[in-house]
Structure 1
Amino acid sequence: MIANTASPSTPVSYLLHLHLDLVARAVDHNPDKGHKTPAEFAREGRYNYVPSFAPAVVFCVIYAIAMTINLGQFIRHRAWFWWVMNFAIALELVGYIARAVSVKHLASRDVFIVQLVLILVAPAVMAAACYMSFGRVVVWVIPREYQSARHLWVPARRVTPIFAGCDVLSFFVQVVGGSMIASGNTPAKINRGRNVVLTGLALQLTTFGFFVVAALRLLVLLRTRLRTIPLPQERNWPLFLVMVNVANVLILIRTTLRLVEYAMGNSNYLLNHEWYFYVFDSVLMFFVVLVFIVFHPGHYLPYLGFKRKGLRFSDNADKGLFASLARGTKIPPGMVQMDARDG
């Protein structure tokens, strides 16, 4: 039983542990579980289709490669704030490993739950990486007089805490709904819990949707009101900002479809076809990871430490396969080879 494992030592692992425990109990209380014949359960397990082993293995390999590359970039650029993306990729990797194991051991409830939860929550962690990247671009690039809520809709130095705080709130709402589902002993109580979960998902989608609009609006602001104002030229930060918005849109599409999937109940076309999961979750989230491998913040941004102290770039900002994309337009590349240590 997951509920009997050792107590996690960090807030993030505690929340994940709690969510796994609630989902475990929810699976046990799922009224649809008993609707399968023994033969159907032997073929499908707790999935709504006969799951495929090969795609799960493919994404295990893909995310293992992505994890290796990201850890290398993380250390090479000393981009300590980017631990969030590394954590998200680790969640995806472990999730797909668990999915591959689950396909071969369909009767295992715990392995099914691990793959379900980790793959479900990883994109929210990727969204947090987008918040942090966007906040660092704004604090560095935008003149102080334009960093207010009037121009950006959110104060520049409050981007990460505000949006991350809303994410945590939506997570707790989902936990409450999950506990209601887990403890519900009638269809009415279980449906009430499902509605609370949907409220949490809707809150998460609303928060991220607002962030996407605010980030896109900054692109408009740069082309209108800030068009004639001198802005930093050390790095090709406009390209990086565009790619942050590309990642935002991919996560938004995935989150919207997940909300629709949950809103349609226990059995629907999206939930009953595995191709939908791989195309609109697995592939889309890998594209987000790929975007930040090619356009890594270590090539584009200062403030790579946990605290934004001084205009410091990575020593390796101009080294690597994709470094030429990040070079500024006026200042020679050698001028940005500054110490990346935070303090």
Structure 2
Amino acid sequence: MSTRVRVNYPDYDASEAAAIVFVVAFGISAIAHIAQASMRKSWWMWPLIVGVLGEVAGYLTRYLSITQSTNTDLWLASMLLIILAPNFLAATDYILMARLMLFVAPELSVISPKWIGTIFIACDLLALALQGAGGGSLGSVRTPASLNRAKAILISGLVFQLITFGLFAVVILVFWQRCKRAGVPKGPWVKLMAALAASAILILIRSVFRCIEFSKTTLGVVGSRAFVRSEAVIYVLEAVPILASCVVFNVIHPAWYLPNNKRERVGKGSEGLEGTSPTEEKNLRETTTVV
């Protein structure tokens, strides 16, 4: 008995217009991020740029797969890009949290900021490898057993990412609570902390949705029925949260609030913080309001 991977979900007609809308939206965000990172010389933001460009490519190939419904390779490419791109956004959150802790109060972190990036990015790479291996092998399945094996690997990557990011959210929460109790000086960095928390929540929402979706869908089997019966659900719970996670850092760009020099500390009278406006530098040095 053989199986094949479907080009599109069996229970709805995919929209070309919706795919193009998100190609344009992610494209605008990507262009803005490239300009912002270049102007501020914040090269540590490039994982986010890779992720946003991955989303552009994902929804572009989704559009192409709709217009060429017999091309299975395009559908697989679209699915993989859209699934994998948020891993780079998650990596950006890990990097930002480590830098923010180093800047504000490294001694208040439940995990040393020097290890946060290493630990969580390693977990992110493992999740990326599992998702890539599972999703990539869908194109070569020939039997129900091989299909189930590919699906299991893909889901394990998604679940591992969800658990990792859930633990990361706890690290953010603990750090924030410790800052409040310790009376850490309040400043513009709090705005970045809020943006980081928003990004984490949005990625968590998307991750929960993907875990449920793939666990409930008999992906690729002829005659199967998908868990999601409306394309709008995919956009509301996948595309919109990830786009918002990208845009929040266009509006509150980390380089405006964090120095490129990791040795700088908030409230220590640092001069000439790179990536920070003169007004923000003054606030960082002089504010006495506590969290």
Both structures adopt the same fold (TM-score exceeding 0.5): yes
Q: Is the 1:270–1:276 Cα contact (8 Å) retained in structure 2? A: no
Match of 2:214 among 251, 255, 262: 262
SS state of the match for residue 33, structure 2?
helix
- Comparing 48-57 and 173-182, the one that deviates more: 173-182
CA contact (8 A) 2:217 2:226 kept: no
Question: 1:291 is matched with which residue?
Answer: 248
Correspondence for 2:202: 250
Identify the match of residue 33 of structure 2 among 63, 70, 75: 70
Segments of structure 1 that go 5 or more residues without pairing to the other structure are: 1-28, 34-44, 334-343
> 1:122/1:143 Cα in 2 relative to 1: closer, same or farther (>3 Å)?
closer
Q: Which amino acid aligns with 1:265?
A: T
Q: Aligned letter for 1:210?
A: L
Q: Report how far residue 96 of structure 1 moved.
A: 1.4
**C-alpha contact 1:236 1:327 (8 A) present in aligned 2:** no
Q: Counterpart of 1:203?
A: 160
- 1:1-343 alignment to 2 at 5 Å? 30-31=3-4, 33=6, 45-48=7-10, 49-144=12-107, 146-147=108-109, 152=110, 154-175=111-132, 177=134, 185-224=142-181, 226-227=182-183, 231=185, 236-266=188-218, 270-303=227-260, 308=262, 313-314=273-274, 317-318=276-277, 329=283, 331=285
Aligned CA distance change for structure 1 residues 303 and 201 (closer, same or farther; 3 Å): same
Distance 1:86 1:259, change over 3 A: same
Q: Structure 2, unaligned stretches of length 5 or more? A: 219-223, 266-271
Partner of 1:337: none
Aligned equivalents of 1:117, 1:288: Cα separation in 2: 19
Runs of 4+ in 1 over 6 A off after TM superposition: none
1:78/1:156 CA distance change after superposition, 3 Å: same
**Bigger CA drift: 131-140 or 103-112?**
103-112
Aligned residues of 2:202 and 2:242 also touching (Cα < 8 A): yes
Q: Deviations over 1:255-312 (max 9, x none)?
A: 01100001102255643321111111111111111110011011100126xxx36676
Contact 2:98 2:114 in 1 (8 A): yes
Cα 1:240–1:204 shift into 2, 3 Å: same
Provide Cα deviations, 1:43-67, integer angstroms capped at 9, x if missing partner. xx43332111111111111112111
In structure 2, how many angstroms separate the alpha carbons of the residues matched to 1:55 and 1:160?
Answer: 35
Higher relative contact order (CA 8 A, sep 6+): 2
* Contact 1:236–1:328 under 8 Å retained in 2: no
What letter is aligned with 2:29? A
Q: CA, structure 1 residues 99+328, in 2 after alignment: closer, same or farther (shift >3 Å)?
A: farther
Q: Which amino acid aligns with 2:283?
A: T
Question: TM (normalized to structure 2)?
Answer: 0.84
Shift of the 197–93 alpha-carbon distance from structure 1 to 2, 3 Å rule, reads: closer
- SS of residue matched to 1:223: helix
**CA pair 210-56 structure 1, distance change in 2 beyond 3 A:** same
Letter in 1 for 2:277: D
Q: Shift of residue 191 of structure 1?
A: 2.1
Question: What is the one-letter code of the residue matched to 1:262?
Answer: F
Determine the C-alpha separation between the residues in 1 that align with 2:83 and 2:135.
Answer: 14
Greater radius of gyration (CA) = 1
- C-alpha distance 298-171 of structure 1, shift in aligned 2 (>3 A): closer
- The amino acid across from 1:314 in the alignment is E
Identical aligned pairs, as a percentage? Answer: 27
**How many Å separate the matches in 1 of 2:120 and 2:138?**
27
Aligned residue for 1:238, secondary structure, equals helix
CA distance in 1, matches of 2:285, 2:116: 29
Question: Structure 1 residues 332, 204: closer, same or farther in 2, change over 3 A?
Answer: same
Is residue 3–residue 143 contact of structure 2 (8 Å, CA) maintained in 1? no
Q: Which amino acid aligns with 2:115?
A: R
Q: Secondary structure of 1:272's match?
A: coil
